[in-house]
C-alpha cells in the first residue's frame, strides 16, 4: 500500500470543468476536498467551484495557471479525461512549469507523463515524482476464476453508460459500511478511484488479455483484510467503445452481487460528442437481464439494487425516478449521493449474511 495522500492539488480541468464533463476533477473535489486548493479552467475563471458544480464551496476556479499554483499547491492533478486519454499539446507548458517548481504530477491519462521524453526527463532531473495512475502493474495474470474462491462478499457496480456513478456509489457505500462496522475495501479500477483510494489498477489501461486478470488480482489482494469488497465498474456492456473492458471486469471479479447504476435522464450512450447518438439505453429491467445473462456462463450473479444519478432533476422528480426504478425492477433503489445510501447498504449486508 502507498503512503497516505498528503498532497495539496491544483486540478487541471481547462475548458471542460462542469458537472458532466470533468468526472475525475469532480470526484476528487467531492471525496478529498481538504486536499484541493483550486481548479484551473479558463472558461469558468473567477467563479467558485460551487457555482460550477453545485458543490465544492468557495474553492476558486482560476484562469491563470501560475496563479493557481500560488494557491499553495504541492501537486498538479489532471482532472479531465480527453477522448482516448492522450496528452493535449497545450498542456506540456503547464506541466513543465509545475515540474520546474518541484510540484508532483498526478495523471490518469493513457499517455504516461513519466514516459514523455521531455517531461519525464525533467522530472527525473529535478527529483519530482510523476504518478501515472493508469500505469498497470507488471506481471498481471490471465484470469482463471480464483476470485470466486474468496470468502469475502464481492459487490460490483455495473452501468447503463460511462459516467453515471459506478465509482461514486462504491465510495459512498464503503464509507457507510465502514461506519456500520464492516471490514470493507473499495477496489478502484479507474484513475479517479485510484487517486482517492491511493491503490488500484486502471483496467482500461491494461493489455486486453489481462482485463479479467487485473480484476481477479485486485479481488484477491482486497480479500486479505476485508469481508466486503466493492469493485468499481467501468463502461457498459452496451457501450460501443468500452464494452470489452466492462465484460472482462465482470467475469474477472466473480461478483456475488451487482449494483446497476444509471443516470435517470440519460436516454442514449453519451460519449460521442461529435456524432449523433445511436445506442439507445434500454429499460432498467432489460439492463438487469443483460448483465445477469452476460455473467451467468462464467459465474451466476444477481443485481441486488439500483443506484440512480439524479443530479439534473428537481427533488420531487428525483424521488419519483427512484420510486419508478424500484417498481420497474423489484429492487431497492436510491440516489446515494443525494438521498440515503441505506437501501443499498442494507441489500449488501443482507446478501453478505445470506452468503455465509
- Degrees, nearest 5: CA angle 235-52-187: 35
d(CA 142, CA 105): 31
User: Per rule CB under 8 A, is residue 285 in the interface with a copy of itself?
Assistant: no
- Residue with smaller CB distance to a copy of itself, 161 or 172: 161
Q: Which three cell numbers stand for residue 46?
A: 473567477
User: Per rule CB under 8 A, is residue 70 in the interface with a copy of itself?
Assistant: no
- Residue with smaller CB distance to a copy of itself, 250 or 344: 250
User: Per rule CB under 8 A, is residue 172 in the interface with a copy of itself?
Assistant: no
Candidate segments 151-159, 175-183, 234-242, 327-335, binder of a copy of itself by CB under 8 A: 234-242
Pairing of strands 228-231, 153-159: parallel
d(CA 5, CA 130): 14
User: Per rule CB under 8 A, is residue 142 in the interface with a copy of itself?
Assistant: yes
User: Per rule CB under 8 A, is residue 249 in the interface with a copy of itself?
Assistant: yes
Helix spans in 107-200 (H):
117-126, 166-179, 191-197
User: Per rule CB under 8 A, is residue 64 in the interface with a copy of itself?
Assistant: no
Q: In whole angstroms, how close is the CB of 83 to a copy of itself at the nearest point? A: 6
User: Per rule CB under 8 A, is residue 240 in the interface with a copy of itself?
Assistant: yes
Among 29, 95, 205, 318, binds a copy of itself (CB under 8 A): 205
User: Per rule CB under 8 A, is residue 267 in the interface with a copy of itself?
Assistant: no
Q: CB within 8 A of 239, min separation 6: which ones? A: 161, 162, 246, 269, 271, 279
d(CA 196, CA 91): 23
Q: Which three cell numbers stand for residue 165?
A: 456513478
Residues 76-105 that bind a copy of itself (CB under 8 A): 83-85
Nearest to 173 by CA among 230, 225, 218: 230
User: Per rule CB under 8 A, is residue 283 in the interface with a copy of itself?
Assistant: no
Q: Which three cell numbers stand for residue 319?
A: 424521488
Candidate segments 151-159, 169-177, 272-280, 320-328, binder of a copy of itself by CB under 8 A: 272-280
User: Per rule CB under 8 A, is residue 272 in the interface with a copy of itself?
Assistant: yes
Amino acid at each position: 500500500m502507498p503512503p497516505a495522500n498528503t498532497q495539496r492539488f491544483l486540478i487541471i480541468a481547462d475548458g471542460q470543468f462542469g458537472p458532466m464533463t470533468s468526472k475525475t476533477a469532480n470526484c476528487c473535489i467531492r471525496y478529498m476536498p481538504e486536499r484541493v486548493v483550486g481548479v484551473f479552467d479558463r472558461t469558468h475563471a473567477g467563479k467558485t467551484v460551487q457555482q460550477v458544480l453545485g458543490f465544492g464551496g468557495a474553492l476558486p476556479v482560476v484562469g491563470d495557471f501560475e496563479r493557481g499554483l500560488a494557491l499553495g499547491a504541492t501537486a498538479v492533478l489532471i482532472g479531465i479525461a480527453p477522448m482516448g486519454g492522450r496528452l493535449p499539446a497545450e498542456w506540456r507548458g503547464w506541466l513543465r512549469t509545475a515540474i520546474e517548481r518541484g510540484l508532483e504530477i498526478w495523471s490518469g491519462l493513457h499517455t504516461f507523463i513519466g514516459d514523455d521524453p521531455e517531461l519525464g526527463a525533467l522530472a527525473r532531473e529535478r527529483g519530482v515524482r510523476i504518478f501515472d495512475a493508469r500505469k498497470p502493474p507488471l506481471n498481471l495474470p490471465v484470469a482463471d476464476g480464483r476470485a470466486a474462491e474468496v470468502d469475502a462478499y464481492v459487490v460490483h457496480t455495473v452501468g447503463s453508460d460511462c459516467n453515471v456513478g459506478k465509482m461514486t456509489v462504491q465510495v459512498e457505500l464503503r464509507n457507510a459500511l465502514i461506519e456500520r462496522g464492516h471490514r470493507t475495501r473499495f477496489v478502484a479500477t479507474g484513475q479517479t478511484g485510484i487517486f482517492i483510494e491511493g491503490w488500484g489498477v486502471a483496467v482500461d489501461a491494461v493489455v486486453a488479455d489481462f482485463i479479467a486478470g487485473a480484476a481477479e488480482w485486485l479481488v484477491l489482494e482486497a480479500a486479505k483484510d476485508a469481508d466486503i469488497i466493492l469493485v468499481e465498474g467501468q463502461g457498459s456492456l452496451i457501450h460501443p467503445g468500452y464494452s470489452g473492458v466492462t465484460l472482462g471486469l465482470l467475469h474477472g471479479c466473480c461478483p456475488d452481487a451487482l449494483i446497476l447504476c444509471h443516470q435517470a435522464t440519460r436516454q442514449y450512450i453519451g460519449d460521442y460528442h461529435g456524432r449523433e447518438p445511436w445506442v439507445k439505453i434500454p429499460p432498467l429491467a432489460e439492463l438487469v437481464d443483460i448483465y445477469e445473462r452476460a455473467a451467468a456462463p462464467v459465474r451466476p450473479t444477481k443485481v441486488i439494487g439500483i443506484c440512480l444519478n439524479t443530479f439534473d432533476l428537481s427533488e420531487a422528480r428525483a424521488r419519483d425516478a427512484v420510486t419508478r426504478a424500484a417498481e420497474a425492477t423489484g429492487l431497492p433503489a436510491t440516489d446515494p449521493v443525494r438521498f440515503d445510501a441505506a437501501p443499498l447498504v442494507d441489500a449488501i449486508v443482507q446478501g453478505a449474511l445470506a452468503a455465509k
